[in-house]
Amino acid sequence: MSPKVLVTGVTGYIGGDAFHALYEANPDFDYTLVVRNKEREELVRRKYPNTDIKIVYPGAASPAMSLADVLEEEARKADIVLHTAKSADDAVQAKAILRGLQAAGRSPEHPAYWIHVSGTGILQWYDQTHNRVGQLPLPSEKYDDIADIDRILTLLD
């Protein structure tokens, strides 16, 4: 059976390019794209006409459904989630995806995969606080993935 792949942010830079590459390589996968509204749905549909790609947005099925509700419902059905839409900054949407993935009763034999595009803006906190944006980082503000992992994991929320 084809994997069910949920992609967010396809109208954006990362999501648009990633989905294009994914679809070119695996046109037989079962894709669901979550967008924000009908206008976006039409935009994406024009790019992928005559395909089985499912495109959903809040209010399409039920006016009461929020974007988080849609994400949760679609994540419940997905094997793989590629989340790029506002992913670095929106905890509500990320938690909705997590709820959906957890609700599905996964097992080690049938896991789900979640690819969550993050951002590195948080590492610029010092420069932003001290009005130094655009200058070279201070040596004390360098973050090494390994040597500085404790500092990275204890950054303020």
Which residues of the shown chain bind ligand NAP in the complex (CB under 6 A)? 9, 11-15, 36, 40, 67, 84-90, 117, 119
Inter-residue contact 86 to 13 (CB < 8 Å) = no
Q: What is the rounded distance in angstroms from the CA atom of residue 112 to the CA atom of residue 48?
A: 26
Cβ 69 to ligand NAP shortest distance, Å: 13
The residue type found at 51 is T
Chain-centre distance for alpha carbon 84: 3
Least distance to ligand NAP from the beta carbon of 57, Å?
A: 9
Q: Smallest distance, Å, CB 48 to ligand NAP?
A: 15
CB of 117: closest distance to ligand NAP in angstroms?
A: 4
CA–CA dist 9, 138 (Å, integer) = 34
User: Which is closer to ligand NAP, CB of 109 or CB of 157?
Assistant: 157
CB atoms within 10 A of CB 113: 12
Q: Which is nearer to ligand NAP, 2 or 37 (CB)?
A: 37
**CB-based closest residue to ligand NAP:** 12
Please say which residue, 93 or 112, places its beta carbon nearer to ligand NAP.
93
Residue of 110, 109, 113, 58 lying closest to 81 (CA atoms): 113
Nearer to ligand NAP, 40 or 77 (CB): 40
Rounded CA-CA distance 50/57 in Å is 19
